[in-house]
Amino acid sequence: MTTKGEQSASAARTLAFTSHFPMPSPMNMKGDIVNNWEFFKQQWDDYEVATGLEGQDKKIRLATLRSVMGKECLQIFLNLKLSEEQRNNVNECITALEAYFKPKRNVVYERYIFNTCRQIEGETVDGYVNRLRKHASTCGFGTLNDELIQDRLVLGINDEGTKLPLLKEDKLTLDKAINLCRSSKIATKQLNVLKQEATKSEGVHVVKQQRPQRERRSTNTTARQPSKPHGSKKTTSRGRPYKCFHCGSSESHKKEACPAYGKECKICKKLNHFASVCMSKGQTRVHAVTQETDDSSGTDSDDDIFQIEELTTIKGKQGKLLVAKLEFKDVDKNYSTILDCQLDTGATCNLITHHDLAVINQNGDPKVSPSRSKLRLFDGSVMEPLGQANITIMKDKKEHCLEFQVVKGNNKPLLSAQTCQQLGLLKITIGNETLQDVHQIQERKTLNKPLTKDELLNTYKDVFKGLGHIGQAKITVNSEAQPVQHAPRRIAITLHQEVKNKLLELEQKSIVVKEMEPTDWISSMVVVAKPGKIRLCLDPKDLNNAVKRPKYQMPTLEEMLPKLNNAKVFSTLDAKDGFYQISLDEESSKLTTFWTPFGRYRYLRMPFGISSAPEEFEAKLHERLGGIDGVEILHDDILVVGYGNTVEDATANHDQNLLNLLNRAREVKLKFNSKKFTLRKKEVKFMGHVLTSDGLKPDPDKIKDVGDMPKPTTKQETQSLLGFVNYLSKFLPKLSEVAKPLRD
């Protein structure tokens, strides 16, 4: 039995060792929370064992755990529903946190993810195997774990040449499969080196074969012009630039010295010419897409016309087209597909075939929305695409949501010039400096000094103009609900002309359309008068009772505030026309049919008043803008924050975060309201509060409103007052005690 002195000495030794042992990193609350928790828990377990902390008093263990878990994790821990006994037990605390960060997994879904896991372009064999092991750990394979990982490795590896020896192996094991993949990779690299050396040797040999022609002596007394040296450029008899029909070079040379002499064409398989100049009918035609616009009206139009022209100048080495392998994600972002994409510097829109779209979305039907765009072919004819679709592309571990025009055919996906620049597939060199894209050029020029509002509104005028489109939503109705058709609601005669003009405006913007066919649901229309204008809203009370809401967890201001530590500069932006930036499918559109004095109309965009609209809008904003540093989203309000120890550092950080947001908004077709754009303030009004570098403050206007409220005389008026005051409860200490007489 140890004495208290021995225990104290042991604790002192442990604490002395602990002080020299690195403490676990705080729990990372961004990204993959499940994996972050597993990493933190492993660090904590190792720390306890290595330092002997697991044998110490529970108070010391608990204090250490709370100290190392991080501020955000600690806030979650303090809000967990635990008894006092559980809160004083380290193991119970760990179990409660694990239940919070690792909700129960759906084994069927996890196995689906495992079975669709393929090697990503550029991913090593070991990296792919580690990813398979990670997915398999949640699938409950038991004793079959290694065997199933082995099968998935054989099926999912990209190198077709490596699959053959794997399939030939009779007694294949996981370790043997990994070793075979590694050796195949090494052998491929060695073979490429040998091929490069052989190519270099061949090139030298060709040069050695070239002999300058001896100049013939002339008996003519007239001074003759010196002959053109070998390799000089010349023209044809018609004055056009000379071009070799065998290799495509503009340098004059003999047939024997042509680089294509003796080479096999990869298109027609014939000798003595490259694929770039092949005249075979089987040659693939390359097209560029350019957009025709007309800004003379000063209004935005959804009727975009794209022109397709034949291109013959975009060639890479050996006459190949510019192609990039990119990772496409399905709608749920669970399944990845690698596709070869053609890069087209003359294109202003992206194209994809319906077949490729179906390949990307193997788990369901491709989501194609109607397109008002037109594709003008190089012969002048116009083709309407099948529709348009928003597709997520992964590049450098970042998500890029891009709009594609969906067409028929079997061509590669075509990426526009702007998309190539956004993805960093095209590089621009200025002097000795290589820039990734055009936006970077703009940023380099502007970030030398603080951005101005006029500068931003001019550079990103497309982001602050027109009607945005951040995706399509579906209004799901309970199948057992009985449709309701309301009778027309009368409106004042004096408002008829204004309502008619508003309907015409909405119809021209393709927000509403006149409905001539019978519909099951018909709602009433509500006219909301505002200074100088009116707003038309639905009154879908009965429809909302039948709507199935998506149950998206809306973030709160309290959840956002801990992230604003060390924030010194703020800007706010407001999504223009809010819900109208979401389109509806035809079935959902029919549900929004409403009465007007001029007949029935239905919404093509998400209307105000639908119960599922806020959640749909919030979810799509987070999906489109997620992952941008210094950007917080609450409803349709967007906050841009600058962090730093000094105002100068915070300003630079803020401006970069703002540019990232505006570039992303341009990418996903999100539009902002220029009139509600507040730039670089030390304090801003946000969600009924005032955000400052010193923390959160109450909005003076709200305080004034409370003071202006009349003295309550009824129970309902008292409840209204308490509800309003409770909004500012965080700034009112002992509010519960003060307001108790009013509640009683």
Tens-place pLDDT, residues 574-617: 998 889 999 999 999 999 999 998 999 999 999 988 989 988 99
Give the confidence band of 221 by pLDDT, cuts at 50, 70, 90: very low
Tokens representing residue 478 in the block: 């309970």
Q: What is the pTM of this model?
A: 0.43
Predicted local confidence at residue 232, as pLDDT: 45
Average pLDDT over residues 652-660: 90
Average pLDDT over residues 723-742: 66
Least confident span in 37-41, 72-76, 522-526, 564-568: 564-568
Tens-place pLDDT, residues 312-334: 333 333 345 678 888 888 877 77
> For 351-401, where are the alpha helices, taking DSSP H only?
354-360
Average pLDDT over residues 493-520: 90
Give the confidence band of 250 by pLDDT, cuts at 50, 70, 90: low
Average pLDDT over residues 463-488: 90
> For 275-368, where are the alpha helices, taking DSSP H only?
354-360
Predicted local confidence at residue 442, as pLDDT: 41
Q: What is the DSSP letter of 566?
A: T
Tens-place pLDDT, residues 383-431: 778 888 888 898 888 888 888 888 887 778 888 877 887 788 775 443 4
Show Cβ contacts of residue 723 under 8 Å, excluding neighbours closer than 6 positions: none
Higher pLDDT, 87 or 187: 87
Average pLDDT over residues 205-209: 37
457 φ, ψ (degrees, to nearest 5): -65, -30
For residue 129, pLDDT beyond 50: yes
Helix or strand holding residue 631 (H, E): strand 631-634
Predicted local confidence at residue 687, as pLDDT: 66
For residue 237, pLDDT beyond 60: no
- In this structure, the chain runs to a length of 744
For residue 176, pLDDT beyond 80: yes
For residue 556, pLDDT beyond 50: yes
Mean pLDDT, the chain, as a whole number? 75
> For 312-409, where are the alpha helices, taking DSSP H only?
354-360
Of the ranges 183-187, 302-306, 436-440, which is most confident?
183-187
Give the confidence band of 9 by pLDDT, cuts at 50, 70, 90: low
Average pLDDT over residues 146-157: 86
**Using an 8 Å Cβ cutoff, are 363 and 109 in contact?**
no
Predicted local confidence at residue 143, as pLDDT: 84
Predicted local confidence at residue 293, as pLDDT: 38
Tokens representing residue 115 in the block: 């079975």
CA distance 352 to 355: 8
Average pLDDT over residues 243-252: 72
Q: What is the DSSP letter of 329?
A: E
Higher pLDDT, 334 or 29: 29
Question: 252: exposed, middle or buried (C-beta count within 10 Å: 0-12, 13-18, 19+)?
Answer: middle
Tokens representing residue 484 in the block: 């309701």
Predicted local confidence at residue 484, as pLDDT: 92
Higher pLDDT, 143 or 373: 143
Predicted local confidence at residue 661, as pLDDT: 92
The shares of helix, strand and coil residues in the chain, as percent rounded to the nearest 5, are 40, 20, 40
